[in-house]
């Protein structure tokens, strides 16, 4: 095995290991775990949870409403559940929605511009003995010129270990989500872009087929928004309308993020011209967790749904009809030519008889 192949395999193993660990951290940061989030690998195990204080007890994540220039002070509790002492790095990072629809945090080598830049832990690292816990304070200082709206990030603990067998370093991350709403005018808004509908017919010209409706949801406002979707497909003038069922809800999108949606619609009649309508109801959450539905957004696009077998049959029938008409026309022309020839012959014979 040459050196380039060995380097390729090592890089691949590194990426796979990093991706696996990122999924572990994502579930904790997104607040999907019930109870304290746990990171474990052999004898290494620790948990993180929110501290109980004036902001509340047994919080699953951090959520604040702060005006520009405001400051938040809070704490995270880190516990060593393993058998060996731990020294963990502590830092903050901006959040983003992955292609799988989960919340993740930027790695430490990526530059954060919001919560990851505004939040500072009281210590850059924390050492914890087995069976012990540590309170890690952190402060969020919102700039005076911060744009109103929602920001999402997290406070993270990190442990980097060397994998002797593979010769790589593995970074295990575990943290808690921070959602921050900066005071000012809130402009929640979702848009539907690039709506398309395509039709997949059947060989039976009288049976129904499947349509596929695709579009992109964009968060064009300054608030984090979830949404409820509805999709329908109809023929001309709204006839034979069919509604799509079982549409998965999109993830909560942060301002500026987008999400691609593909929805199958079954039992659509081939009515030559289809109208696909997507309706999106934005859902706005407040700090208490209550959800408010906003004014729905509705977009319609058109596409073709031709019954190709029926079209083929019609084309053949038209071709046969045209052929028959042309044949009859040729016969009429030929008969007229023969009749004209007989008349000319008769006239010539009559003239010759008179001359004689």
- Write the pLDDT tens digit of every residue in 202-242: 666 678 899 999 999 999 999 999 999 999 999 999 999 99
- Write the pLDDT tens digit of every residue in 89-127: 999 999 999 999 999 999 999 999 999 999 999 999 999
- Write the pLDDT tens digit of every residue in 140-191: 999 999 999 999 999 999 998 877 666 677 889 999 999 999 999 999 999 9
Q: What does each C-alpha distance from 121 to 63, 129, 159, 237 come to in angstroms?
A: 17, 20, 16, 61
- Write the pLDDT tens digit of every residue in 249-303: 999 999 999 999 999 999 999 888 999 999 999 999 987 789 999 999 999 999 9
Q: What is the mean pLDDT of the chain?
A: 85
- For the record, the structure tokens of 103 come out as 């919340």
The pLDDT assigned to 166 comes to 64
Evaluate whether 303 touches 196 at the Cβ level (below 8 Å): yes
């Amino acid at each position: 095995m040459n050196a380039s192949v060995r380097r390729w395999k090592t890089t691949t193993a590194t990426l796979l290991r990093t991706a696996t660990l990122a999924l572990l951290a994502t579930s904790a940061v997104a607040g999907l775990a019930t109870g304290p989030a746990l990171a474990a690998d052999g004898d290494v195990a620790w948990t993180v949870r929110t501290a109980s204080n004036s902001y509340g007890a047994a919080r699953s994540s951090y959520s604040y409403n702060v005006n520009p220039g405001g400051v938040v002070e809070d704490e995270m509790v880190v516990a060593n559940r393993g058998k060996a002492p731990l020294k963990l790095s502590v830092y903050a990072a901006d959040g983003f929605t992955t292609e799988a629809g989960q919340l993740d945090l930027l790695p430490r080598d990526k530059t954060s511009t919001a919560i990851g830049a505004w939040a500072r832990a009281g210590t850059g690292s924390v050492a914890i003995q087995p069976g012990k816990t540590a309170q890690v304070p952190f402060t969020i200082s919102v700039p005076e010129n911060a744009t109103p709206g929602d920001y999402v990030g997290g406070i993270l603990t990190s442990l980097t270990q060397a994998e002797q067998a593979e010769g790589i370093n593995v970074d295990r991350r575990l943290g808690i989500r921070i959602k921050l709403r900066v005071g000012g005018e809130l402009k929640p808004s979702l848009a539907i872009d690039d709506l398309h509908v395509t039709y997949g017919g059947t060989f039976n010209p009288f049976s129904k087929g499947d349509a596929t409706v695709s579009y992109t949801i964009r968060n064009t406002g300054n608030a984090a928004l979830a949404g409820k979707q509805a999709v329908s497909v109809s023929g001309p003038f709204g006839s034979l309308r069919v509604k799509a069922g079982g549409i998965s809800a999109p993830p909560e999108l942060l301002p500026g993020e987008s999400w691609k949606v593909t929805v199958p619609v079954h039992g659509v009649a081939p009515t030559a011209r289809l109208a696909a309508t997507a309706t999106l109801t934005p859902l706005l959450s407040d700090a208490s967790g209550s959800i408010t539905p906003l004014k729905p957004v509705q977009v319609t696009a058109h596409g073709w749904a031709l019954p190709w077998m029926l079209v083929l049959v019609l084309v053949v029938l038209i071709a046969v009809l045209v052929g028959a008409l042309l044949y009859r026309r040729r016969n009429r022309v030929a008969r007229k030519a023969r009749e004209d020839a007989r008349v000319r012959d008769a006239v010539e014979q009559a003239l010759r008889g008179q001359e004689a």
